[in-house]
Every structure is written in structure tokens, then in C-alpha cells.
A and B are shown apart, each in its own frame.
Chain A
């Protein structure tokens, strides 16, 4: 089990390294006149050249990549080209809100989609059809449209919730709740519907296996078969579904933060992208992938623990 975790951790760090290199090259290879963009059209050529030197842009790409990697190991990701704020601080200030939203969202998705998926798999009939139709709808409606519809209906027409977040450092719990309710609903709807359908399939696959029939033949009550045996057997598939869902949430939260003007990492990413503030963009990519690596590792450990072939060896 320990060597299993070690291997997964190593491959996660390897993936992070590869992604960092590729992203760095992609970002800096194609943008030739970064300094000119920052300084504007009026600046003299000399001033632009000076800016390029200041940012280290006059050095070869691989040298810059090397020094970025060395800094990154010490958690230094450079400074924003526009605000001069260190990227570490800029993201550090925005990340907690995003993480709170994403974690609440994935927990909600896990609970609701498991319930829906299991009910659909066991009861079939009407519950099953509802889950199927929901999955088609969720696949058809992009997250930003769900967000817009929620704003129109519950913030603008009904005025139950604020359309734009009122979160500030001094906000009280009630304000947080009011400001986050709609964004989180917008964030989870797609995930619930698509996960529910996949969990349903995983559950049905297990229900049709031979050992379920044998358990029934032994007189084990149906509830115990479902919740002790089948749920556990379907758990690895469910966890994989949820881990993919989590990766999707990191993207979905970018859109939702923009719609509701939430000051999270997603909003920071969009702003940095608009301005081509490459150090910040690079930082956001690294943080996101690092979060995914951690989540995937947790899922791997959970799956390893659930699988006696891995756990016992």
C-alpha cells in the first residue's frame, strides 16, 4: 500500500513538472512583443527594450524556464506584470474562496448524485427516466447559461439572492451564505445530473453481477446487499466519476465567479488572461494542476484502500 501511494505521488509530481514545462513554453513562445503590449504604443523602442530586460524576456526561453522552475520549487512564481504583486500572494488571497466553493460543490454533487443514481438504478421506472432526462439537459446547457438563468430568475425577478456577491473580508456568515447560494447551485447542477447518470450505470453494472444473486440466495436483506456490498463495489467507479467532476469544477468555477463577480481564483484567471498577465496565468495553471494532482492522489488512495488486492498485498 505504501509503495502504491509512493508511486502515485511520484507520477503526480512528474505530471506537474511536465505540465509546468509545456505551459511555460506555450505561454512565452508565442507572445513575441510582450513588452510592447505592456508599455503601450506610445512608448519608445528603448523603453520597451528596457522593460523586456526588466522582465527577463531578452534571455533564451529555456534559461527562463529553468529559472522559473528553480523559483517555483521555493513557491516563488514571479510577480504580476501589471500590479507587481507576487503571484503567490495574488493567488493566495483568492484561492480560499474558490476552494470553499469547489469543495462544497463536490460534496453536494457526491451526495445528491449518489442518491439519485442509486434510486434510479434500484427502482428503475420513473426515477430512472428523470435521471436520464436530467443528464441530457445537463449535457445540453452550458454552465454559464445555467448561471444566467439563475440570476435572471432568482436575483433579478424574485430578488431572493443578490445578483452580485457582497462578500468582503468583514462579511458575516449570513452574507456569505446569501452570496454563495446561487453560485454554488449554478456550479453543481450539471455535475449532479451527469454524475447521477454515471453512478446509476456503475450501480446497475454491479447489480447484475453473479455475487449479488448469491448474496440474495443466502437470505441477506436487500437493503444490506445494496448499501454494504453493491455501494462499496460501485464506489471506485463513483470516485473516478467524482474526480473527473472535480477537475471540471475548477473550470466551471471560473465562469461562475465571473457571472456573480466573486473575488476568487477564477476571476483572477480571467482578468490575467484578458491582460495577458502571463506570470499570473502560469501561476493559476500550476495551482489548478497541483490541486488536481492532490485530489487524484486522494482518489487513488481511497480506491486502493477499497480494493483488497491492493490493500492486502
Chain B
């Protein structure tokens, strides 16, 4: 079992121990129909290669019967154009095929693995040199190179396949180099280095463990491609005509394609099955080792309303701008079952009101926000609850789906969104200006020049000093704080009634955070929208919000007026959050504690 401990670094994510994961690989491979088929095919081929001498009824290179005989009592699969037994040649042909694959994969790994490790670990000139060689190798047409090799040295499977191995080594090189680079700076590798382990030991123990799985998968793929190229060369008549290999058999059969097509069928079938075996093995290994399938459940069709009239969700009278009631969001899990991320959540926002939704990451606060926007990932399921925006039901209790046709009328125009991470939320290929103008021409139906003018005003309104320059810039040319201002400008550009801000300041520097919060506060006072502010930071809540809902593990533990909750938090979790906000400011923590204690006493 000690060997399995080494595997731990191969699965840094997922939280499973290496032992569990590794023990399961073979089992999972066999359970997967693809893996099972692949293993059956490959075991058969290996067996026929090993046992060809025993199993083959005839000498594969000697004529046994009339030429091009069909299947008969003597030759089970018939004979080829010189009367040799096809079955015997097929069995012996497995040898050349497997040898080809083994040489190609072996050479490719022997070059790509160490080169990738060294380039990834040390970088510098070796990295430059090997990356440059890799680029050259990858721009060579493999088939043409193999023709040149054949012209120079004649038909030799080992030499051809060794060169082929060199040609495909960049695949391994890149894989290993990338993996090594990403692992090199991991903490456990640093720790090993500090502990005085030699670079060689670190590479052998820690990094090799990480690259092992992808290298094995790639090797299976390379075996398949190697067989394809070797048999292609033989098919072209460039193989050793005296050897019993599948490619030579196809070449022979193709020349008598009109007289005896069956002679062609067997070797092509053998080649295709073997390559297919390696491809399926590679895919099954990927599934077994990397195992990150996004599970999606089929959503049942909404209940049909009897009669021809399809009921359109009609306006529901509610005094609030947005009302979320009893919302539950679930995700299907790989092993079956569902994971509940939002569980029976209800809250509301009014016009001109700022609602804070507070909780730590994973509490379901962002999921709730995306449900309101109708932008949940497509495997999310809304299993209960309803959402009503200004009389429009965007999620109704009966169909339990997001009503996209209603929402698409509201989104961007009446409900808008300020995301968390400013840089990744702008399209890097378009100028900031065009990303601001397009929603306005679409939603407000104004001309481009009008929209441009408006965009410049908006940029000025969110505190950008040189609006015209920012308008013409691409996202990579502005800072994170600027980008967040741009996104805020985008969110208010169509004068929405409701803005959903998902951690709008988390990704920013502390000084910029304050400025951006100022912008949001000023705009809200001026334009009087409702705002839902999703955050993990009670400081932001205290600064901006009128009311607050505290979420933990998908549920709301407490909600109400922001002053009340800040002063007298009822729930333990809220108290804990409040304390953690003030960690580092010890005196205040004590003050509030004493104060609240005092209040209680």
C-alpha cells in the first residue's frame, strides 16, 4: 500500500485520498463499456501476437492453396494473391503492429518526458531550445518525413517508428512541461525543496506523480496513431513485401480489389479494431483518471395545460419590486442524487432599497442572484419556489423553470448585473465603448451616436477621468478598478429598476473598493433603483444596505433591518460573521461584544 501514498499529488483537487482514487482506476476502467471493449480487443491482439506460432495453421509466408481463394475448408479466411493463408498472416501481423506501437510510444515518451520535466522545472535556455524544436517538429508533415526516412534507409519498422516517435514527442513534451510548471511552485514541492530533497528526487517523487496519468492516456493515443502511419506506409507499398504485416496485406488485397474484396476486409478490420482499441482505452482512461463529468438531468416537460389556451404567467399582485419565495436550487450529482445549494429561501426588495445578501462562499448567495437573473448554469434545477419581478413571474411554482421568455424582456433593461471579477467580465476582443454602446442601441432603441454620447456621460458619472480614451480602449488597457467602473456604467446604462451586484468590490484593491462603493452609493441615491448586493463583507453591508439577509449553507438564518441586525444579531452564525469582520481590530471586537452583552444584560 505504500506505493499508493505517492499517488496523492495526482489528485490535488476533489478531496479524495490517493489510495481511494488509484484502487478504483482499473475497476472503473472495466465498468466503463468503452474500457471493457478496449481491453478485450487489446488482450486478443496481444494474445494472437504471442501465440501466433501455436495458433496459426500455416507458415504465413508460404503459399498453401490457389491464389485469392475465398474462405474454405483449408483456409478459414481464404488466401491472398500468392496463395498464402490469410488467417495465419493476420495472427503473425499482430506482432509487427504491436512492435510498431511500442517503439513509437517508447521513443516519444523517452524524449518528451525528460525534456518536458527539465524544461518545466528549470526553464531558461533549455526551455527555449526545446520549445523551439517542438514548434519545428509540429510543423513537419509526418507522412512526408516518414517517406524521406523510407527513401534513405529502406523499409525498416524499427527505424520508421523510432522517427515517428520523435515526430510525436512534442505531444508528451508539452503535456509534461505544462504540468511540471504548474506543480513546480506548489507548496508541497517548495516544502520538499526546503527539506533539502535534490531536484531529481523532487521530480521523481512529486512531479512524476502528477504527469503520470496524462502521459499514459497520451501513450494510448500515440499507439493508435503509430499503427495508422505504419500500416499506411505499408499500404503505399513502402513496407517490406516479404513480411506478414497488416499493412502489406491491405496493399496486396487492394491490388486484387475487383477479384477478391474479402482479402481486403480482414486486415482492414484488424487495423481498425486495434487502433479503435487504443483510442477507446485512451478515452476510458481519461474518464477513469480525470473523472469530471458534468451531470445533467433531463428536466421534465412542464405540465401541459388542458385546452388550447396556454396560460401565460399573469401579473401577480405583490407590493414589492422583486419577491423571491421558497426558492430551492439543486444540482444533480455524478453518483445520482442531488445537491441542494439554495434551500427554501425567501426575501424581497423594494424600489430604492438596498438589500444585502451576506454569507461565506458556498452559502448559495450568488446562486440566488443568478436565479433572479435567469443565468444559472444549465445543469442547475429549480425544484421549488417562485420569483416575481414587478408583477412578472420569472420562476413560477408550477413549472419550476426559469421563464426565459419573460426574463429576456427584463434582463439588461429592467434588471441588470454588476459582476465580481472586472477583467474576466469584459470581452477582451471588443473595445469598452462597443461593449457599452451595443446594449443601449438594443435595449433603448437609440442610435449609435446617441448611445456613444450616453456612454461617455456614463463613464464620467462613474468617475472615469478621461471617458473618451477609456471608450476607445480595449479591456487589457485599463486597470481592474477602471474595468469595474465600466461594468457599473454598463449596469446602469439602460436605467434598470433593479441591479444585482455580485461581490462588486471583492476583486479590487482596498483603496479602489472604497471608491467603487462610493460610486454605487451615489448612483443609487440619484437613480433610486433597488439593489441586491451580494457580499461576504459586513463592512460593505453596513456601508450601503438598508436591509440584510444572512445566508448559511443555502438557507437564510436571519434577515431584517440592517441596523437591528448589526446591533443585535440573533443568530449565532451572524454573530460569528460580525466578529470575523472585526478580527484584527481587537479593541472594537471587545467593545461590540461588551456592548451587545451589556445590551442583553
A interface residues, Cβ below 8 angstroms from B? 15, 18-19, 23, 26-31, 124, 136, 139-145, 148-149, 151-152, 156, 209-211, 213-221, 229, 232-233, 244, 247-248, 250-252, 254-255, 258-259, 269-270, 272-274, 276-278, 281-282, 284-285, 288-289, 292-293, 296, 306-309, 312
Q: Is the CB of A219 within 8 A of B413?
A: yes
The answer to whether B250 touches A281 (Cβ under 8 A) is: no
Which residues of A sit under 8 angstroms from B268, Cβ to Cβ?
A: 145, 148-149
- Structural contact, B429 and A308, CB atoms closer than 8 A: yes
Find chain A residues with CB under 8 A from B427 CB: 211, 215, 229, 233
Q: Nearest 3 A-B pairs (CB), nearest first?
A: A219-B412, A251-B143, A140-B276
Q: A136-B280, A255-B232, A308-B429 are in contact. Are A217 and B375 (CB under 8 A)?
A: yes
Pairwise interchain contact B476-A309, C-beta atoms closer than 8 A: yes
Residues of B contacting A255 in the complex (Cβ-Cβ under 8 angstroms): 143, 232, 235-236
Minimum CB distance partner of B493 in chain A: A218
Bound together, the chains give a CA A147 to CA B474 distance in angstroms of: 48
- Write the chain A residue with the least CB distance to B153: A30
Contacting residues, chain A, for B1 (C-beta < 8 A): none
**B74 lies within 8 A of chain A by Cβ:** no
Q: Indicate if the CB atoms of A229 and B375 lie closer than 8 Å.
A: no
Q: Which of chain A's residues have a CB closer than 8 A to the CB of B140?
A: 19, 247, 289, 292
Residues of B within 8 A of A273 (CB): 147-148, 150-151, 238
B417→A214 contact, CB < 8 A: yes
Interface check B442, CB cutoff 8 A: yes
A26: chain B residues within 8 A (beta carbon): 148-149, 152
* Contact with A254, one of B236, B254, B439, B487 (Cβ below 8 angstroms): B236
A219 and B279 contact, Cβ closer than 8 Å, known pairs A26-B149, A144-B232: no
Q: Which residues of A contact B429 (CB under 8 A)?
A: 229, 232-233, 306-308
B151 CB to nearest chain A CB (Å):
4
User: Do residues B250 and A136 form an inter-chain contact, with CB atoms below 8 A?
Assistant: no
Q: Contact check, A27 vs B136: say whether CB atoms are below 8 A apart.
A: no
Contact of B143 among A219, A244, A250 (CB under 8 A): A250
In whole angstroms, what is the CA distance A144 to B250 when docked?
10
Apart from the given pairs A136-B279, A248-B141, A251-B142, 4 other A-B contacts in the complex at a CB distance below 8 Å: A142-B228, A142-B272, A217-B373, A218-B411
In residues 397-420 of chain B, which contact A (Cβ within 8 Å)? 408, 411-413, 416-417, 419
Query: Is B211 among interface residues, defined by CB-CB distance under 8 A?
Result: no
The reply to whether A211 and B272 form a contact with Cβ atoms under 8 Å apart is no
For chain B, residues 147 to 182, give those with C-beta under 8 angstroms from any C-beta of chain A: 147-153
What are 16 A-B interface contacts by the 8 Å CB criterion? A18-B136, A19-B136, A19-B140, A28-B152, A141-B275, A142-B275, A148-B250, A148-B257, A148-B268, A211-B428, A214-B490, A251-B142, A255-B143, A259-B254, A276-B151, A285-B145
Assess whether B151 is in contact with A140, with CB atoms less than 8 Å apart: no
Q: Determine how close the nearest CB of chain A comes to the CB of B252; give it in whole angstroms.
A: 13
Identify the closest chain B residue to A246 (Cβ).
B141
The docked-state distance in angstroms from the alpha carbon of A141 to that of B276 is: 7
Once bound together, how far apart are the Cα atoms of A31 and B159, in whole Å?
Answer: 14
* Closest residue of B by beta carbon distance from A291: B141
A30 touches B152 (CB 8 A): yes
Chain B residues with CB below 8 A from A289, complex form? 139-141
Are B272 and A141 in touch, CB under 8 angstroms? yes
B283: A residues at CB distance < 8 A: 136
**Is A308 a contact of B476 with CB atoms below 8 Å?**
yes
Tell me if B385 is interfacial: C-beta within 8 Å of chain A.
Answer: no
| Contact with A209, one of B148, B257, B276, B424 (Cβ below 8 angstroms) | B424
Q: Within the complex, what minimum Cβ distance (angstroms) separates B446 from chain A?
A: 14
Task: Find B236's partner among A15, A28, A232, A270 (CB 8 Å cutoff).
Answer: A270
Cα A221 to Cα B136 in complex, Å, equals: 43
Residues of B close to A145: CB separation below 8 A: 250, 268, 271-272
A2 to chain B: closest CB distance in Å?
19
Which residues on B sit within 8 Å (CB–CB) of A19? 136, 140
B152 x A143 contact (CB < 8 A):
no
Q: How far is the CB of A163 from chain B (nearest CB, A)?
A: 8
The interface residues of chain A lying within 8 Å CB-to-CB of B250 are: 144-145, 148
A158 and B417 CA atoms in complex are apart in Å by: 60
Interface residues of B in 424-467 (CB under 8 A from A): 424-430, 438-439, 442-443
